[in-house]
């Protein structure tokens, strides 16, 4: 699958291992709400050879921080083992609709981060989940250490996907860390 085609995919998890001998897999969810797997008709696994394998979800269970998935037509551990450590995606059409003002993390990565005072800080490289709140990892435009900005209302400004920018408000002392 070409890179541009993958832009229409959103990552929802990574297959960590098989589960039992009947073709189930353990998935580490990379989506905010693991319950979303119950609503997914199909997932796409990017196999080790980079091929796109579409599988219909026919069973969902939960164990600790993992999701156990069963796929239609896969009833043997040997049929699914090849996908261990592979990423799992959904198409944007199958993604959970966003509320106003929300954005998919995949759309935020690569945006230029600018303060509400007009200072360009760098490019958003990652969004880290910390438990309490997400944290934006900004790679500075002119070298130096990465800037970590909490993804909280007090720090969030406008996001303009067309312009490729995200505005943030820096709380006092944030750059001193």
- Per-residue pLDDT tens for 55-82? 999 999 999 999 999 999 999 999 999 9
What is the extent of the structural domain holding 164?
Answer: 105-176
Residues with pLDDT less than 50, the chain: 1-6
What is the pTM (predicted TM-score) of this model? 0.73
The total domain count for the chain is: 2
> Could you tell me if 22 and 55 lie in one domain?
yes
Domain end residue (candidates: 41, 70, 92): 92
> Could you tell me if 73 and 109 lie in one domain?
no
**Dihedral of the alpha carbons of 7, 46, 134, 174, in degrees to the nearest 10:** -70
Residue at token pair 């989940």: 129
Domain end residue (candidates: 49, 64, 92): 92
Question: Collapsing DSSP states into helix, strand and coil, what is residue 151?
Answer: coil
In a domain, 121, yes or no: yes
């Amino acid at each position: 699958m070409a890179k541009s085609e993958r832009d229409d995919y959103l990552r929802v998890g990574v297959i960590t291992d098989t589960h039992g001998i009947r073709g189930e897999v353990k998935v580490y969810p990379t989506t905010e709400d693991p319950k979303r797997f119950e609503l997914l008709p199909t997932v796409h696994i990017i196999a080790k050879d980079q091929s796109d394998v579409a599988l219909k979800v026919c069973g969902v269970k939960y164990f600790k921080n993992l999701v156990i998935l069963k796929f239609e037509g896969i009833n043997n551990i040997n049929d699914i083992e090849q996908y261990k450590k592979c990423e799992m995606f959904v198409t944007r059409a199958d993604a959970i609709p966003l509320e106003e003002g929300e954005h998919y993390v995949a759309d935020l990565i690569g945006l230029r981060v600018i303060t509400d005072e007009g200072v360009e800080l760098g490019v958003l490289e990652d969004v880290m989940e910390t438990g309490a709140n997400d944290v934006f990892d900004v790679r500075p435009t002119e070298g130096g250490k990465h800037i970590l900005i909490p993804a909280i209302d007090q720090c969030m400004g406008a996001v303009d996907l067309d312009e490729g920018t995200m505005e943030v408000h820096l709380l006092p002392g944030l750059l001193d860390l």
